[in-house]
Amino acid sequence: MVFKAVISGTGLYTPKESISNEELVESFNAYVENYNRANQAEIEAGEMEALNPSSAPFIEKASGIKSRYVIDKKGVLDPEIMHPLIPERSNDAPSILCEMGVSACQDALKNAGKTVADIDAVIVACSNLQRAYPAISIELQSALGVEGFAFDMNVACSSATFGIQQALNMVETGSARAVLVVNPEICSSHLNFRDRDSHFIFGDVCTAVVIERQETATSAKQFEVVDAKLKTQFSNNIRNNFGFLNRCAPGSEKDADKLFVQQGRKVFKEVSPMVANIIVEQLASCDIAHDSLKRMWLHQANLNMNQLIARRVLGRDASVDEAPVILDEYANTSSAGSIIAFHKYSADFQAGEIGVICSFGAGYSVGSVVVKKCG
């Protein structure tokens, strides 16, 4: 059997607390002052390097980020702590990723006009999972009351689009009537807030997407999936070595490479043309002229990067209407970024209008999904 698949609804969970660049920089610079004071003798003797302060104008200019939502503001901003404080929960209580997922899924189901009885599968697709097993997706499936099956997957920032592609396969081949793809991202927990080059990059959020057969879809918000293209190419330029083998190399568990590390400039230079080429080739293979593209919901890592990609695709500068920006408010939320943009900026689409949801990041990985508004 081959069924046509549509994206019939999206959902968003946004944490209550947010941190401005100014607040983040104040905390970082307090840490720098404390560090330089504590190591003054060694620094003056040339035995240690002094740390440099961060700057809010630099952050906004280099990335386009103005603020980010976080699960725990107090821990992140305390110069003595500089990470979120998220207490462990008993095994009988829902995990925090599951809780975020329930909220985003309820929103997505409402927007799709569906109930849990219509869903056959749950995919949790995100950059970092809080435990090895049981799968967060199976816990979420149970919390929602979904029959059928669930699994977790991770392709870093491209997890959502890669998850959508898996859901499309399931719906099109008939192994599931409808699938929830869920992206709980607590990026603040694997960000090194003591690293000046990257302390401002990430935020926390959860998104969810309902993919179902076109014949069952009733939502006014439904988009036909015209094409989905995935591409990966190995790179060490974005890396996090946290994992279950860390304890087997005693003493290295707290090294900086057990958190997010990147060569930001290299990523920018290598990934931007790769993404633009993939979108251009995909549109050509779908016989879609670039001037009939209404919008690109791009991965939200860096504003300058998105403007460059959009310019290469369109052959001219893109307006914010053509390439909407949410990273000013949310920062980089890994796999959720392009879905937040789609969630917030797709209601004005008329039947037949076309857009591209495109994510890119660690791996490298690129996932590009061409969608057309249904009538």
What's the longest Cα–Cα distance across the chain? 74
Please state the closest distance from residue 254 (CB atom) to ligand CO8, in A: 16
Q: Which is nearer to ligand CO8, 127 or 137 (CB)?
A: 127
CB 193 within 8 A of CB 80: no
**CA distances for 334 relative to 128, 187, 215, 276, 282, angstroms:** 10, 7, 32, 19, 23
> Which segments of 195-272 are extended strands (E)?
204-213, 223-232, 238-239, 261-262
Q: Please say which residue, 260 or 345, places its beta carbon nearer to ligand CO8.
A: 260
Residue 297 CA, chain-centre distance (Å), reads 12
CA atoms within 13 A on the CB side of 261: 11
Taking CB atoms, the residue at the shortest distance from ligand CO8 is 361
Nearest to ligand CO8 of 219, 302 (CB atom): 302
Catalytic site positions: 157
The radius of gyration of the chain's CA atoms, rounded to the nearest angstrom, is 21
Which of residues 99 and 270 has its CB atom nearest to ligand CO8 in the complex? 270
**Minimal distance in Å, beta carbon 129 to ligand CO8?**
12
Closest separation in Å from C-beta 186 to ligand CO8: 9
Spatial neighbors of 92 by CB under 8 A, at least 6 apart, are: none
How many whole angstroms separate alpha carbon 153 and alpha carbon 179?
14
258 vs 294, which CB is nearer to ligand CO8? 258
Verify cis geometry, omega within 30 degrees of 0, for the bond prior to 364.
yes
The residues that touch ligand CO8, with contacts defined as CB under 6 A, are 54-55, 58-59, 62-63, 127, 156-157, 187, 190-191, 196-197, 202, 238, 260, 262, 264-265, 267-268, 301-302, 305, 332, 334, 361-362
Residue ranges in the chain assigned as alpha helix (H): 21-38, 40-44, 56-63, 73-77, 96-112, 136-144, 159-173, 264-285, 303-314, 327-330, 337-344
Q: For residue 250, say if its preceding peptide bond is cis, omega within 30 degrees of 0.
A: no
User: In the complex, what is the shortest distance from the CB of residue 68 to ligand CO8, in angstroms, rounded to a whole number?
Assistant: 11
Q: Residue 123: which of 173, 203, 172, 184 has the closest Cα?
A: 184
Q: Could you tell me the smallest distance in angstroms from the CB atom of residue 171 to ligand CO8?
A: 27
Residue closer to ligand CO8, measured from CB, 57 or 352: 57
The CB-of-54 to ligand CO8 minimum distance in angstroms stands at: 4
